[in-house]
Amino acid sequence: MLAQGLVRCIRARGTHVVALNRTACNVANESDVYRTFMELKPTLLLNCAAYTKVDQAEQEPDLAEAVNGYAVGTLARLAKQYGTALVHYSTDFVFDGTSTRPYRPDDPVNPLSTYGRSKLLGERELQSNAPARWLIIRTAWLYGPGGPSFPQTMVNVARAGKPLSVVADQVGSPTFTHDLADATLELLDRGATGVWHVTNAGQTSWFDFAAATLEEFDLKDAELKPTTSAAWKASRPASATRPAYSVLDTAPYERLVGKPMRPWREALRDFRRAVS
């Protein structure tokens, strides 16, 4: 999903880009990664590979760690060897949600879930094997065309005539893949390194995000009810614990590029246009 957004942005600039799926290069398979570096000798690697099934990760911690964690170390070591700049994407789920203000890039981390811990492992693997130039871009509530996403799920369920029950006490910032792709290139253009937070502007709950999606897709008659994190967890005890508040502070990005990220609701409108 993110890779498709990046390919779109990079090709629009007339720059050569090679996009590899899991069949072409499984990042958890070291021999695949070594072969890819030998064949392509990339100047820039954008690592969009990730295990993103947050709940399923609770039952598959080894696989989540292999893809989100140790594979990033392999990429970093080879990027260092080949002089490749490396961009890796991480998540708001590295935080525990107890903050009362947006999380800054240097705030203490404390993931609550297997998924969050695996993504933090990836951050540390990269930093421990850092190439000459690297970026970790933490983002949140990512959605876009070309893959499964929260708003598309809401639309699919509503169109099937089924009721929706969505958590109303978790707050974050929905982020459109096309905007994150553009922001990535903005950071690279300006020589950025280190850890950055990038999301669309503003914050909302999952419930209000769902309501906005249904409104945008003209599905206002769909049955949508709020629920709590506690009730959701009680009905699905094996599910992952998510942070109650995971808004990311994007001020450093905005200062560097000289403009804010656009509001999440405006981006949602473009998502609707992209998939309609």
pLDDT tens track for 115-166: 999 999 999 999 999 999 999 999 999 999 988 899 999 999 999 999 999 9
CATH architecture under which domain 2-149+173-203+246-263 falls: 3-Layer(aba) Sandwich (3.40)
For 18-47, what is the mean pLDDT? Answer: 95
Q: Which of 54, 8, 55, 46 is nearest to 27 (CA)?
A: 46
Q: Of 51, 103, 115, 253, which residue is the catalytic one? A: 115
pLDDT at 147: 86
pLDDT at 216: 96
pLDDT tens track for 187-233: 999 999 999 999 999 999 999 999 999 999 999 899 999 999 999 99
Q: Which of 170, 171, 198, 168 is nearest to 183 (CA)?
A: 198
pLDDT level of residue 93 (50, 70, 90 thresholds): very high
For 248-265, what is the mean pLDDT? Answer: 97
pLDDT level of residue 248 (50, 70, 90 thresholds): very high
Separation between Cα atoms, residue 174 and residue 132, nearest integer Å: 31
For 23-47, what is the mean pLDDT? Answer: 96
42-51 burial: b if 16+ Cβ within 10 Å, else e: beebbbbbbb
3-state secondary structure (DSSP) of residue 106: coil
Instruction: Give catalytic status of residue 115 as yes or no.
Output: yes
CB atoms within 10 A of CB 235: 10
Separation between Cα atoms, residue 4 and residue 145, nearest integer Å: 8
Cα end-to-end distance, the chain, whole Å: 16
Type of residue found at 107 = D
pLDDT at 109: 98
Instruction: Tell me the average pLDDT of the chain.
Output: 96
Give me the residue spans of the domains in the chain. Answer: 2-149+173-203+246-263
pTM listed for this prediction? 0.95
DSSP character for 93?
A: G
Separation between Cα atoms, residue 105 and residue 250, nearest integer Å: 9
Token readout for 109 is 């981390």
Q: What percent of the chain has pLDDT over 90?
A: 98
C-beta of residue 238 within 8 angstroms of C-beta of residue 143 = no
Q: Is 37 exposed, middle or buried (0-12, 13-18, 19+ CB in 10 A)?
A: buried
Token readout for 48 is 């969009």
CB atoms within 10 A of CB 234: 11
Separation between Cα atoms, residue 241 and residue 116, nearest integer Å: 10
Q: How many whole angstroms from its chain centre is CA 201?
A: 15
Backbone phi, then psi, for 104, in 5-degree steps? -90, 160
pLDDT at 220: 87
Q: Reply yes or no on whether the pLDDT at 169 is more than 90.
A: yes
For 68-88, what is the mean pLDDT? Answer: 97
In the block, which residue shows the tokens 């008659």?
A: 221
pLDDT level of residue 276 (50, 70, 90 thresholds): confident
